[in-house]
Amino acid sequence: MFNLFQNIHVDWLGKRRIFIGLSIFIMLAGLVSAIGRQLTPGGTDAFNLGVDFKGGTVVTAKFRNVPSDDDIRAALNRNGVADPVIQRTVNKPDEVLIKIPLIEAGASDTAPDEQRQKEQVQGGRLTVKKALDSFGTEAEGDATLDTNPDAAYKIVGTDSVGAVAGSQLRNQAVTATLLGLVGILLFIAFRYDWTYAAGAVLAVFHDVLMVLSFFSILQWEVNLTVIAAILTIVGFSVNDSIVIFDRIRENIVTNRTDSIFKITNDSINQTLSRTVITAGLVILSVLSLVIFGGEVLRSFSLALLVGLTLGCYSTVAIASPIAIWWQSKMGDSRVKDVLAPQASGQKLASSSRRSVTRRPVTR
């Protein structure tokens, strides 16, 4: 197998405080950003939630000559619509799906929900119509683009995503992520050891919190595609962690006289080439999505780019140190101080193995 790094000897565990300190700094910056934005009067929300989560209006427009996505987005921005989502339909190339945030109408707070939703949809439609009028007139009423040759477009449908539905989607997304983490914890605990499972799951939490920190600080839009990206990051990060844990388990068997810290460093260095090559190829693919994917895939590709990069980092610098620390302090493999090497204070790999009770064999 192609090996990118030959005879590399990096003391990863020796630098664990630096790595963990860097991660804590970024997560604290994200926390300060989220709390500060939320508490500032007249400020923005902690996260820039998209139409999927906080509700909005979806308008389907059919064009005679379809403008570019950038032109439609610029027209909407000129009319006060921030962060519109422009989507093309595959089977109808002359139609465009336009998603905009909720437009508050003049209905009172005591008005029925159906009336308020209807007025919000109507307000969103009028806002989109005003923006699209910059490309020409609309074929109104029963007229179509075929019967009205002077019309440039026609709005063929309007719909809305209510705030209640957005809240349900948000709760379901959080539930799906947590259930995935619990499943990963149980699998690794069953297949390896619960101390390794704790390290892997904490590293995954680290990756998710770091991605959310970037989205809060930079105010990138959070929509359902970001949740899909986070679930992808969870699987990718755990896969890399398991590779290192499996190598640690193999090396513990063959190097019982070495300390657990040395074995962990050797295992990370031995699998570093595989980690960098695998993550590097995926990150290059995601980078192409960031550059050429357009606004529709922007949040998804940015979440993947940040998450996969941090996942590669946490696999090496976070998961293994946490697993070894947990194993040393709280795991079943705890050993007495008298068994540790007096010179370095490190624990022997042989002492980290669980005790085995040998049963007599009846012949």
As given in the structure block, the two tokens for residue 175 are: 């539930």
The stretch 169-196 carries a mean pLDDT of: 77
Interval 48-74: pLDDT, tens = 877 777 777 888 888 988 888 889 989
Rounded to an integer, what distance in angstroms lies between the CA atom of residue 133 and that of residue 141? 16
Burial-class residue 188 by CB neighbours within 10 Å (0-12, 13-18, 19+): buried
Res 298: pLDDT: 85
Rounded to an integer, what distance in angstroms lies between the CA atom of residue 70 and that of residue 291? 15
The stretch 12-32 carries a mean pLDDT of: 90
In the predicted model, is pLDDT for residue 337 greater than 90? no
Rounded to an integer, what distance in angstroms lies between the CA atom of residue 63 and that of residue 136? 10
Long-range CB contact pairs, 5-10, < 8 A, 24+ = 5/269, 5/272, 5/273, 5/276, 8/269, 8/272, 9/265, 9/269, 10/265, 10/268, 10/269, 10/272
Name the residue among 24, 20, 26 with its Cα closest to residue 218: 26
pTM across the whole model = 0.70
Query: Is the C-alpha dihedral spanning 303, 304, 306, 312 positive or negative?
Result: positive
Band of residue 336 on the pLDDT scale cut at 50, 70, 90: very low
Domains and CATH numbers, the chain: 13-36+165-352 (1.20.1640.10), 56-161 (3.30.70)
Tell me the C-alpha to C-alpha distance, in Å, between residue 213 and each of 24, 129, 216. Answer: 11, 36, 5
Rounded to an integer, what distance in angstroms lies between the CA atom of residue 41 and that of residue 158? 33
Interval 112-137: pLDDT, tens = 566 766 777 788 888 888 999 999 88
DSSP 3-state of 209:
helix
Q: Mean pLDDT lowest for which of 74-78, 92-96, 193-197, 307-311?
A: 193-197
In the predicted model, is pLDDT for residue 345 greater than 70? no
DSSP symbols for 92-127:
-TTEEEEEEE----S--TTS-HHHHHHHHHHHHHHH
Q: Mean pLDDT lowest for which of 12-21, 114-123, 293-302, 336-345?
A: 336-345
Rounded to an integer, what distance in angstroms lies between the CA atom of residue 304 and that of residue 212? 12
Amino acid at 306: V
CA atoms within 13 A on the CB side of 112: 3
Are 204 and 234 within 8 A, CB to CB? Answer: yes
Counting every residue, how long is the chain?
363
Res 301: pLDDT: 92
In the predicted model, is pLDDT for residue 25 greater than 90? yes
Q: Mean pLDDT lowest for which of 38-42, 114-118, 334-338?
A: 334-338
